[in-house]
A and B are shown apart, each in its own frame.
Chain A
Amino acid sequence: MDHHQRWHPTVNEREFIERALQSDLRVDGRRPFDFRRLKILFGREDGSAEVQLGDTRVMGYATAQLVQPYKDRPNEGTLAIFTEFSPMADPAFEPGRPGESAIELGRVVDRGLRESRAVDMESLCVVAGKHVWSVRVDLHILDNGGELNVPDAMVLSLRNLIDAANIAALAALSTFRRPECTVGGEDGQQVTVHDPEVRDPLPLTIHHLPIAVTFAYFGEGNIMVIDPTYKEEAVMGGRMTATINSNGDVCSIQKAGGEGVMSSVIMQCLRIASVKAADITSKIKNEVNSYTSAKALQKVKRLPASALKKDNAPDVAMKESSDGALETQSTKPSSDGQQINKEPPSVVEDNKQEDVEPMLSECNPEAQSETRLTAGGSDETQEAISPKSLKDAVKPKHKIKKKQHSKS
C-alpha cells in the first residue's frame, strides 16, 4: 500500500493549541513550565531502568565488557549510547534502519553524557592500553507518547523522547554495576574478572547527572513551553534541547532548525532548565537510592533465614562451593570462606559504595542503618538467633578474607 499512515494535526487542533497558549494554557492541563509526570522503574538486574514520562516510555539497559582501549586514550574506558526504535512503540518506526530522529536522539543523549564527562572514564581502565571497560547503554523506545499515528518523516517529531531517553540512560547508569576485576599473574597483566556472587560488583563513578530539558517555541519565539507533547511538537515553530546539571553547568545545547530565538530568551530557558534539572536530579537520586537500599535489604533478609534453618546449612555450603567452581580464574578461597563472604553482602557493598561513588554517599549510611534495623526488627521470631551478633562475628573474618584477596 503506497499510502503510509501518518498523523495529521487538524486545523482545529493547531488553532486551539496556539490560542490556548496565548493565555498560558496547555491542552493537557499543564502550565508552560511543567514536566509530565515522571516515573522511574527498575528491573530485576542492575543497570536496567524504565522511565515513564507521561505516556512516553523508554527503557535503558547498561552493560559492560572488557575491550582494548582506543589508541589515543589508552587509560580511559568507553561509553556508547545505542537507540532502538521498536515498531511496536509506533507503527511509523521502521525496523532495522534507524531514522534521522533516532540518530539525533542517540547523539543528543550521548553528547550530554560524554562531553560533560559525567561518567568517570579513567576509573574504567583495568590495564592501560590493554583492557578497559566499555560501557554500552541501550535505549529502547517502548511507547512513543501512547499514540498510534505520529508523523515519522518530519524532523519535528520525537522531541519529547529526548528528555525521557536521557533520564532512562542516567537511571540505568546509576544502578549499573560492573564486575570487579583484579590484575595479577606473573607478568602483572593477567586480568581476573570476579563472579558477582563472589565479589560484589562495583558501581560507576558518576560525577553529575546531565539532564536534558526540551523547550518548544511558539509564535515567533515569544511563547515557550517545556517538555512538549507530540501535538505541541507538530504545531511549534522551533525547539531547543538544553542539557544541564543540577549545579547549573550547561553540558550541551541542541538547536537544530526552526524559528530563531533571541539570546535573552535562551538565557531565560537555561535558568528554567537548571531549576528543572535540580528537580529531576533529586528525583532520580531518590529513586536510585530507594532501589539500592531495597536491593541491599533483599540480600540481608536471607541472613536470618539461613541462620535459622541450621539443617539446611550443608546444602547452602554445597551450592556455594559449586559457585566457586564456576569462577575458575580467580584465586581459590576455601568454600566456607566464601560462605561467609556471601552472607552479609549488603554491608560489603555499602562500604564500597562510600569509597567509590560520591554521588550515592549521602544516603548510604542511612540505607545501611535502615537495612540493619529492618533486618533485626522485622523478623522478631528470629531475634533469638540474634542476627546482629552473627553479623558482627562474620564481619571481621570477612574483612580478613578481603585483604587476602587483594594481596594475592
Chain B
Amino acid sequence: MNLLNIDNLHASIGDEKILNGFSLKINSGETHAIMGPNGSGKSTLSYVLSGKDDYNVTQGNILLKNENIIELSADERSKLGLFLAFQYPIELPGVTGMTFLRTIINSSRVAKGLPELEGIELVKIIREKATELNISQDMLKRFVNVGFSGGEKKRFEILQMSLLDPSIAVLDETDSGLDVDALRTVGSGVTNLKNKDKGMLVITHYQRLLDHIVPDFVHIMVKGKILESGGPDLAKIVEKEGYKRFIDAN
C-alpha cells in the first residue's frame, strides 16, 4: 500500500527556493534514506512534510495514505499518522516528560476514536517503552528536552515515536550529536519499530546511521530534488567518494 506520495514538490522560505520538484513514493514496510550535502534541503523537506508554517509550498502535492495534506496543519497531519523526529528537539520548560507523553498519547487516542487511558495504565505503557530505550524514570520527571544530552534528546524523540505509533516516520538527522553507544541504542530502537505496515524516511548526512537502520532504498538529494536513487550500496559509495560525483554528474 502506498503510504506517502510526494509529487513534484516546490517550496520556498521568503524568496529562497529550497525544494525544486522533489518526488518520492514510500509504500508500507519500506524504509527510505535520503542523503545529501549541507544545504540540499533535507531539513526543509522534513519541515514541509510535517506542516511547519514558515514554508511556502508553491507547487506539487503530498499524499498521506492517498489524502492530500498540503492544506492541513501540523497537528492534523500528526493525527493522520505522520511523525517527525526532530534534528534539534525543542525545550519545554515547566512541562515534564511524563506529562507531555500522557498528553500526546491521549490526544492521539482521541483522534483515532479510542478511549482515553487513565493515569496508571498510561504510566505503565510509557515506562515499558521507556525502559526499552534506556530512558530512566528520572529522566521522565525532568522538563522536556531541558538539559538533556544529545543522546537523551534523540531517545526521547524515538520514545514519542514508539508511543504514537505513526504510519510514516520521518527521522531528521537522528544521528547528529550521538556517540557510538547512543547511536546503537537509537538505531535498534528505530529498527524495532519497523514493521510491514509502517514506512520510514531517514534523513542523514552520514552512512553510519544506515548501519543501524538498514534502508531498502537510498536517495541522493541535491539542491532540493533527488538526483539518484538506488539500494543500500549507494550510501556506501557516498561514504567513500562524497557527494561531489553526484553534483558533477548533474
* Chains A and B form a bound pair: no
Which A positions have Cβ atoms within 8 angstroms of B?
Answer: none
